[in-house]
Structure 1
Amino acid sequence: MDPLEELRRICLALPETTERLSHGEPTWFVRGKKTFVMYADHHHDDRLGFWCAAPPGAQQELVGEDPERFFRPPYVGHRGWLGVYLDIEVDWDEIAEIVTDAYRVIAPKSLMERLPEA
């Protein structure tokens, strides 16, 4: 399975999400304006992953629990964003939950109401 294609499928399934290149990488936006997920194809290191918005405390908790799967991304890590490695065995259901949480952090309430029940 191509990680980019699967991540794209998950992101674009969310209401009013668009994709375009930002800083040379595929990036997903809510209503074309606010970024919630950025692909990272060896962008600042030799790893494949993505960066995403995260609920308060999630970055610290997940990186602390499993630094082989999660990391603090450059540039946006200080804002609580989460980095997720995709060059290891991936649980795509978990990735879908992480992406949906990222969307919830960024999207306006009117769009969150359109999400399926968790």
Structure 2
Amino acid sequence: MTDVLDRIRAAALLLPEVEERVSHGQPTFFVAGKQFAQFRDNHHGEGRTVVCVRTSGADEQAMLIDAAPETYSRPAYLGPAGWVSMNVAAADVDWTLVEDRIARSWELAAPGRLLEAGGR
């Protein structure tokens, strides 16, 4: 899954002021100290490879999961805060969608000064 992590890392690190560090044993991406994406490969033996990203809240989370349950699910620990996990192990991953959701998650976590400066 190194190639999958490399793609996620590349998408996240293109965004302004992103820092990658390990959080809870997982590669995690932060902007201004706030987490906005986390890569999970077989997290707690669940057998899935996903990237977890923020949504605007419970309504958007539910809408995404209902609309595309093969792509989106509610991640352990982050789900109650409105996050979704995106399946990135399928053969037909829509990488444009994954990159867009990572960028949108960054926007939800980034401080106003970055958004005012033009964001991504």
**TM-score of the pair, normalised by structure 1:** 0.91
C-alpha distance after superposition, 1:49-102 (max 9, x if no partner):
011111232211110011111100011101110110111121111111101110
Q: Which secondary structure state, in structure 1, belongs to the residue aligned with residue 15 of structure 2? A: coil
Out of 98, 102, 106, the residue aligned to residue 101 of structure 2 is 98
Q: Which deviates further from its counterpart, 54-63 or 9-18? A: 54-63
Residues matched between the structures, number: 115
Within 5 A, what are the aligned runs for 1:46-65? 46-56=47-57, 57-65=59-67
RMSD over aligned CA atoms reads 1.3
Structure 2, unpaired ranges of 5+: none
The separation in 2 between residues aligned to 1:24 and 1:76, in whole angstroms, is 15
Per residue, is there more helix in 1 or in 2?
2
TM-score by length of 2: 0.90
Q: Secondary structure at the match of 1:54?
A: coil
Contact map agreement 2:37 2:51 (CA 8 A) in 1: yes
Name which of 52, 72, 75 aligns with 1:73. 75
Measure the CA separation in 1 of the matches of 2:53 and 2:63.
15
Conserved? CA contact 1:58–1:82, under 8 Å: no
Tell me, in whole angstroms, the C-alpha distance in 1 between the residues paired with 2:60 and 2:86. 12
Q: Which runs of 5+ in 1 are unaligned?
A: none
